[in-house]
Structure 1
Amino acid sequence: MLKPDTLALTIVLALLTALGPLSTDMYLPSLPAIAASFGATTGQAQLTLSAFLFGFAAGQFFYGPISDRIGRKPVLLFGLGLFTLASLVCALASSIEMLVGARFLQALGASGPIVLGRAIVRDFYEGPRAGRELSRMGTIMGVVPAIAPVFGGLIAQFSGWRMTFAVMILCGAALAATVVLRLPESIRTKSDAPISFGSILRGFGVLLKHPAYRVYVMLSMLTYGGLFAFISGSSFVLQGIYGLDELAFAFSFAFMVVGFIAGTSLAQRLVGLYGLDGTIRFGVSSLAAGGVAMLVLVASGVASSLAITMPMAVYALGVGLTMPQSMASALMPFPTRAGAASSLLGICQMTFAAILGVVLGQNLGASALPLPAAIATTGVLALAVFLSTARARASKV
């Protein structure tokens, strides 16, 4: 069995939380081909991403509270099973509407591993140690979005977009087998709260009364919102406006991934020196700097795709510094409700990102400007939220 404070457990938890990014990043190079295959518009194809985010948010409503009651492992296996089955439906989709619906179901399954991965970290670790573990997971997890678009680009060129979902089926099955054979049950004391829609909502209400929790959830929302704006809009901007092919786009996408990995790696050192909030301060500054730089370069008419990808690397550095520490800080006050706290954080994060993705998809066209405008807005707002909430953040312990 896997044990706490081992690299093996960190890798497994990282792969569980990477299932969502894998499900989006690997098929990003295929989005234009998917649109062409079904005769769909750019907005319709982008809905396969936004539907995933809405499903991701909806699924997180139940996974955390139920796992607080019956344990992490059985709920985790349910999510992996649903993800694998829905991936099969995606591979066999005969229309864009069917693919959108299947992506929603796929996300319902994928939301379980990411919620429960964070909850398992809180079960085993506390405070800065939890933040450091989430950063370690982020470093490992960052390899997935680095490899996934390149792999997806190769599949798109040589095997067609449906094969990407076949790979997702294999990933879901492999992770389920690992959970069954190697992952221990992590929850120490199970909740005695009844499982019902009303009780879950009341539990979420208790969480939202905590001022520090609200702040860290807001920081996670804004940070991920800018990241998802790039994920959902970059293939259309970099391929459609800057003329990159599938493989060139995949390698350009790697700028963002390298920035994220650098941020999570740096965070593991900074959190020991400056604490959770000190690390977040560096992160939100990087978010704002990257977003504003991208907006200025694109608005100035710089014709190179580097006007998008280089500032995005700076923004992604901020994501790696901000998001793991914000998540750890949000969960810290709730050792017996880690699942519910993780669920609500994910719901807010994914709902905001999905709405932003829909708005962005409706505005993308002949100009690249909507993409940096969205990223700059989220970065600057994250910095403003952090600077204006010192008193609320002090109540996290």
Structure 2
Amino acid sequence: MESKALTNNTGLAIPGFVFLLAALTALAPLATDAYLPAIPTIAKALGRPIPDVELSISFFLAGFSLGQLFGGPFSDHFGRRIGIFFGLSLFITGSLAITFTPSIEWLWFFRVIQALGGGITVVNTPAIVRDLSSGSESARTMSQMAVILMLAPLLAPVLGSLILQILNWQMIFGLLLVYSCVLAIVIYRVLPETRQIQTNRPSALRRYWMVLRNRHALGYLFSACFGYGSLFAFITGSPSVYMGYFELSESTYPLAFGVNVIALVLMNKVNIQLLGSHNPRSLLLAGQLIQAAAGAVLFGYVFLSETIQLQFFIPLVILFFGCHGLVNANSMAGITDLFPTNSATATALMGACGFAFGAFSGSLVGTLYDGTPLPMALVMFACALLAPALRLLLQLGPQPESAARN
């Protein structure tokens, strides 16, 4: 992997740049994945059914979306550091409150507070990358971040399961509290302001309109929406499918979940290498087509099989999940490269719409759940099919100059 220090156009070196931003972005997967093994325990402790606790994932995703929508223009207007510290303060508050929550309703509420802070914080990371790089270099940096970032969803369920066995489920959120406090201290000491000085500061609505009126940006936007939809359909449905249908234990479930993350890490490594000879848009298309094919086979197998075998189900999910390594970084690089001075807003719109659709798809899986993997497989396949179809339709014709340079 390339050096983890990056230099912007003013000559300012930022030590550990990739590691630092990956750790910051890890707030989202840590907050969604660490407590997955504890969902049955939380349901029992609060006296509610498992789907009610799984609904807290959708509440988190919805709050995360709103946080990004607010945080993007806020960051472009006031700066990256202010946005990060404001977001972390909300995340810390929500994490602390959850450790004392007495009911499922309060859990939902404080998950939204936590998510608002997470969204405001995380939206700054792709914007900082765009402040310091562009094009294929930006996509490569984001893929490098993703390789490190994938340690979060890989380790989060394991850490959650370990904490659950030694302490209690509240301490999982205590871990998030400590993690976010450490991040705040490190960022305060290490990360400088990277936002370009702007004489013209348009309003938030005007910034969003600049993105929404660009059809190529809309192509990446729809691509992200359905990409997140397929991702969170699996994340939301996997506890019920693996621990319910396949009857895996709370200690075995993190392993079944973690192999998908390993596939994602490997595919991001492949993406980094391929970016040396291919442009991000071509790699995005390849990833989406492979994912759609994997989704079709997965849905067909689940739909046609009387008894679904775990040894066949897991490899198909691994292939599907791993394709996000070609999709996520190249989608983000594509849309941010279109808006060099409005990158946080573009990132916010993509992230917010993606997480909102992820919340919808996760809720849909929960609503349709019939005790089998069929609803999860159906939603995953539908999202994987619609993502490239809508993007290619919107991006017909010549690319904008900034995209064409890649």
- Superposition TM-score, scaled by structure 2 size: 0.93
Is 1:230 paired with 2:238? no
* Rounded Cα–Cα distance in structure 1 between residues aligned with 2:313 and 2:14: 38
Question: 1:96-120 CA distances to partner (integer Å, 9 max, x unpaired)?
Answer: 0000100000000111232100100
Q: String of CA shifts for 1:191-249, please: whole Å, max 9, x gaps.
A: 6436xxxx322321221111110001111111111111111110111101110011111
Q: Which amino acid aligns with 1:131?
A: A
- What is the match of residue 190 of structure 2? 182
Please, which of 291, 295, 299 is the counterpart of residue 295 of structure 1? 299
**Mapping 1:134-149, distance limit 5 Å:** 134-149=142-157
Supply the distance in 1 between the matched residues of 2:42 and 2:22 (Cα, whole angstroms): 29
1:213 aligns with 2:217: yes
Report the equivalent of 2:316: 311
Amino acid at match of 1:225: G
Q: Which amino acid aligns with 2:142?
A: L
In 1, Cα distance between the equivalents of 2:23 and 2:307? 37
Q: 1:87 Cα shift?
A: 0.2
Matches within 5 A, 1:22-41: 22-41=30-49
8 A Cα contact 2:299 2:377, kept in partner: yes
2:55 corresponds in structure 1 to 47
Which residue, out of 365, 371, 376, partners 1:366? 371
User: Cα distance, 1:341 vs. partner?
Assistant: 0.9
Residue number in structure 1 paired with 2:22: 14
> How far off is 1:381 after superposition?
1.5
Q: Which AA in structure 1 matches 2:152?
A: V
Judging changes above 3 Å, is the alpha-carbon distance between structure 1 residues 219 and 191 closer, same or farther for their aligned structure 2 residues?
A: farther
Matched residue, 1:72: 80
Pick aligned residue for 2:260 from 212, 236, 256:
256
* Aligned equivalent of 1:276, options 273, 280, 296: 280
- Counterpart of 2:55, as a letter, is L
In the alignment, does 2:368 pair up with 1:384? no
1:288-323 C-alpha deviation (Å, 9 max, x unpaired): 122122212222134333444321211122111011
Instruction: Pick from 351, 359, 367 the counterpart of residue 354 of structure 1.
Output: 359
Deviations 1:55-100 (A, max 9, x none): 0011111211111111100110111111111101111110000001
Query: What pairs with 1:116-135 in structure 2 (closer than 5 Å)?
Result: 116-135=124-143
Contact 2:95 2:110 in 1 (8 A): yes
Letter in structure 1 aligned against 2:67: G
1:345 maps onto 2:353 in alignment: no
- Report the Cα distance in structure 2 between the residues aligned to 1:7 and 1:252, rounded to whole angstroms: 35
Contact 2:229 2:360 in 1 (8 A): no
| Aligned match of 1:331 | 336
Cα distance change of structure 1 residues 191 and 62 upon mapping to structure 2, 3 Å threshold = farther
Q: Deviations over 1:152-186 (max 9, x none)?
A: 11222232211100100011001000110000111
Contact 1:290 1:315 in 2 (8 A): yes
Structure 1 Cα separation of the partners of residues 199 and 378 of structure 2: 44
> Quick one: which amino acid aligns to residue 333 of structure 2?
A
Aligned residues: 393
| Superposition pairs of residues 95-114 of structure 1, within 5 angstroms | 95-114=103-122
Q: Which residue of 2 aligns with 1:154?
A: 162
Q: Which runs of 5+ in 1 are unaligned?
A: none
- Spell out, residue by residue over 1:116-138, the C-alpha distance to the aligned partner (whole angstroms, 9 max, x if none): 00100010000010001111101
CA distance in 1, matches of 2:212, 2:378: 30
CA RMSD of aligned residues (A): 1.8
CA spacing shift, 1:191–1:359, aligned 2, 3 Å: farther
Q: Deviations over 1:236-283 (max 9, x none)?
A: 111011100111110000121011111211111112212111111221
Q: Would the aligned equivalents of 1:290 and 1:313 in 2 still touch at CA under 8 Å?
A: no
- Supply the distance in 1 between the matched residues of 2:272 and 2:307 (Cα, whole angstroms): 35
- Deviation, 1:6, is 6.6
Q: Is the 8 A contact 1:216 1:329 kept in 2?
A: yes
CA deviations on 1:328-362 (whole Å, 9 max, x unpaired) are: 10111111111111111111111111111111111
Separation of aligned partners in 2, 1:287 and 1:67? 33
Q: In 1, are the aligned partners of 2:64 and 2:352 still within 8 Å (CA)? A: yes
Amino acid at match of 1:379: A
Structure 1 position 200 matched with structure 2 position 214:
no
Distance 2:31 2:150 in 1: 14
